[in-house]
Structure formats: C-alpha cells, structure tokens
Amino acid sequence: MLIVKKFGGTSVGNKERIFNVARRCIEDYKKGNDVVVVLSAMGKSTDDLIGMARDINPSPSKREMDMLITTGEQISVALMAMAMGALGVPAVSLNAFQVSMHTTHRYGNAQLKRIDTDRIYNELEQRKIVLVTGFQGIDKYDNVTTLGRGGSDTTAVALAAALRADACEIYTDVDGVFTADPRYVKTAKKLNEITYDEMLELATLGAGVLHNRSVEMAKKYGVQLVVRSSLNDHEGTVVKEEVNMEKMLVSGVAADKNATRIAVMGLKDEPGIAFHLFNVLAKHNINVDIILQSVGRDGTKDISFTVSEDVADEAVVAIQKSFPKSEYKKIDEEKDVAKISIVGAGMMTHPGVAASMFEALYDAGVNIKMISTSEIRVTVLVDEKYTEKALNAVHERFSLDE
Ligand code: ADP
Ligand code: ASP
Ligand code: MG
C-alpha cells in the first residue's frame, strides 16, 4: 500500500511529539507499505514567523512573506528525517522545490497545479520514508508560494491524488471531525463519517479542522480521507462521497470570526450597479459571501456583503477607486461580526430547519444581522461577542449532543 499521512503543527510541536509521529510512520513502513508524510510547521511557529515579519515591516512584500513562512515546514521535515534516522529507518525530507509542486503565482493563496512524482517514487523505491513540506509550492518562475493558512491538508490530498495513494490520513489534535469545534462546544460529538459536500461547507464556514481546498480536491479526485488524532488510536472520521447512515438533518455547526460586513449605502437604484460593484471585487480576487440588497427608495438602494477580514480594507479601497463619490452616500465597514452556520445534507428535504435555527438564536437573545442559505446550509451573521453563545444555542437546538 502507498499511504500519505499528514501531521499538523501540534502533532509535531516538540521533541516527544516528533518521535511519536516518527514511530507511527515507521509502524506502517515496517509492514511493507510505502509511506509519504506531509508535515506542518511546529506548534504555532507560522504565527511566530508572521509576528516577526510584522515587527520589521507592517506591510511586508507578499513574496518575502511566503519565503519566510515556508521555513517552518522545512524545519519540521528535516527534524523528522533526523528522528527517523535516530530510530534506524532511512528517511528523506523534500521541500516543494525538490519534489516540484507547481502552483499559480498568487503569493499567500496559491493553487496547486501539478505535482511531479518521479523524485518521490524514486526515493520510495529505495525504501525510504519520504517527508514532504506541507503548505508550500513554487510558481513558474521558481518563486516560493504558499497555499493559504492551514494549507498542508491540501498538500497531503494533492499528493495522495497524484501518487494514487491507497490511503490519505490527516492526523491532528482532536479525534476527528466533530459536530462543532470541541474547543468552544463542550458537548460536541465526533462524527464517524461525513460527505465531501458537508465537510466542504463546514470547512469553508470556519471549521478549521480541514483546509477547505483539501476537501474540494478530495472530492474532485475521489480521495477518501480519514481525520484522526495523532495522540491516540481512536478511529477518526471518514470523509467520502456518500455516507452509510441516514442523512443527518444537521451534521455540524461552524463559526467564523474572520468576517467583515461592508455596506455601500445610497447607491443609484438602476441596472448594472450590482454587476459593477461585484465585478470590481472579482477583479481584485476578493471572495464575497453573504449579499443583501435593500429595497430601493427615493431612487437609491444599499448593498451589503461580507468578505473575510484580511481583505476587507482592500475591498473598500477598490470600491472607492472605481465608484465616483457622487454615486453612493457612504461605505460602512463592520469587523466585529461572526458567521454562524449549520450544515446538513438532510435539510434539503426538511423545511423548517432554518426557522429552528432562528428560534434558537431568538431564545438566546442573539440578533441576526444577515442571512444566507444554500441547499445544505444556513448561515447567519451575528455580533462577534455572541459567537460562542450562538454556537452553543444552535448546537443544542439540533440535539447534536445526544
Ligand atoms: P492541525 O495543526 O493538525 O492542522 P488545526 O488547528 O488546523 O490542526 O485543526 C484542528 C482544530 O480544528 C481542532 O483543535 C479544533 O479546535 C478545530 N475545529 C474547528 N471545528 C472543528 C470541528 N467541527 N471538528 C473538529 N475540530 C474542529
Ligand atoms: N503552517 C501553516 C499554517 O499554520 C500550514 C498548516 O499548518 O497547514 O497555516
Ligand atoms: Mg490545519
């Protein structure tokens, strides 16, 4: 079997944990399997590197930022190779350049395009464990890029697809995918399985246990994932196309504090305005989430929408630059908001799920600022200070803790 195993930052956070991971990989290797291991940077070291950069320059170049933060993963793979060496097993560490993991040119949020597999196969043939840096890539000019925060999951899934691996295992600091973030909802329950579609929604809506693009890629290439703990042998959660159980009404609740609401007020109420507004944002590669347009009055209307906090200022500047001051009254930016979402494949066929969610929020005294829905999710925007209250109230309403 060819197994791709990915270990997150906490799982390789110190010497003891590094040896723990080394032993787990060696166990598979000694059974005769080919083992490819993707590692994240140790503990919170990516955050530390970002802090160092901001201390030197508050708005550093994106290229140098990627050059800096990819070093974390390089430390992990080199130390892991040494740990495996100390345990008497041959291992080789490879960075994105050495493997050749080709990405687009977008620093900080590059997309994987192609992975060369020759070098990895070569090393596996020599019976080495291959350790690959997560999160990083190279663009066509050999610049170092990164796949976005949490991107090591995507590296692992992409490698599993490219190598046609028999298994792809994502090891982390919790036992699997839960009905809500177990850090904030004490009664959250581990799911045995979940569909790609549900997991993709949850990951996109704030369940940071998997990078959303890793789920997208897993679905596209049919890579079945297992999310499980690196610290015990519990079974974990299988992420796959169809689940065996009856479709859950709501399989999970997610919160995302990284949201900003932008309201453009007093826009002309005429055709083409929404197109112009969102076209400007699209040109800046800014993803827009919930959109709300007010009913027109006195020939004007308001359009509000949410974007992720890190691109909010850029979005406002882009709008100011492309709309003459005379075409709107003012732009408001509200950063202290959070998105609360429920996700479940079963809600497609059950009316009233949204109403139950709104009732739970009403009972908890939490005001809803915006709403958006899809076939398998409902998202509301609330004041950020109510995030945990709202999360727990909604989780409880759907008896996810039973
Ligand atoms: P890693 O470094 O292993 O990639 P992450 O911190 O990226 O770990 O992801 C694991 C964390 O995701 C958990 O510690 C947990 O707090 C958080 N999390 C958020 N939502 C969920 C969820 N629905 N199920 C499990 N964990 C979740
Ligand atoms: N080290 C990177 C981060 O902290 C990538 C990852 O952990 O997946 O975002
Ligand atoms: Mg992660």
3-class state of residue 383 by DSSP: strand
Q: Find the ligand nearest to 39 CA.
A: 2
Q: Which residue puts its alpha carbon closest to atom 7 of ligand 1?
A: 209
Q: How many helices (H) and strands (E) does the chain have?
A: 13, 18
DSSP line for 225-249: EEEEESSS----EEEESS-SSPPPS
Index of the ligand 2 atom closest to the CA of residue 149: 9
What is the pTM (predicted TM-score) of this model? 0.93
- Give the HSE-up count for residue 70: Cα atoms under 13 Å, Cβ half-sphere: 27
Determine if ligand 1 sits within 6 Å of the CB of residue 207: yes
Are the C-beta atoms of 11 and 229 separated by less than 8 Å? no
Could you tell me the two tokens for 48?
């530390």
> Which residue has the least CA distance to atom 4 on ligand 2?
46
What are the Cα distances from residue 255, in Å, to 2, 245, 382? 35, 25, 10
pLDDT of residue 402: 47
Residues whose beta carbon lies within 6 Å of some atom of ligand 2? 8-9, 40-41, 46, 72, 134-135, 149-152
Per-residue pLDDT, 154: 98
pLDDT at 122: 98
Assigned token pair, 178: 């839960």
Cα 353 to middle of ligand 2, angstroms: 35
178 C-beta closer than 6 A to ligand 1: yes
Probe residue for ligand 1, chosen from 174, 201, 395 as the CB with the greatest number of ligand atoms within 8 Å: 174
Q: Whose CA is nearest to atom 8 of ligand 2?
A: 150
CA of 256: how far to CAs of 181, 307, 314, 315, 348, in Å?
11, 11, 20, 19, 23
* b (16+ CB within 10 A) / e for 28-50: bbeeebbbbbbbbbbbebbeebb
d(CA 30, CA 38): 18
Per-residue pLDDT at 401: 46
Q: What is the largest CA-CA distance in the chain?
A: 78
Distance 13 CA to ligand 2 centre (A): 12
Q: What is the pLDDT of residue 400?
A: 58
Q: Is 196 exposed, middle or buried (0-12, 13-18, 19+ CB in 10 A)?
A: buried
Q: How many residues does the chain have?
A: 402
Give, for all 402 residues of the chain, the pLDDT tens digit: 999 999 999 999 999 999 999 999 999 999 999 999 999 999 999 999 999 999 999 999 999 999 999 999 999 999 999 999 999 999 999 999 999 999 999 999 999 999 999 999 999 999 999 999 999 999 999 999 999 999 999 999 999 999 999 999 999 999 999 999 999 999 999 999 999 999 999 999 999 999 999 999 999 999 999 999 999 999 999 999 988 766 678 999 999 999 999 999 999 998 999 999 999 999 998 999 999 999 988 899 999 999 999 899 999 999 999 999 889 999 999 999 999 999 998 888 888 899 999 999 999 999 999 999 999 999 999 999 999 999 999 999 987 544
Does ligand 1 come within 6 angstroms of the Cβ of 251? no
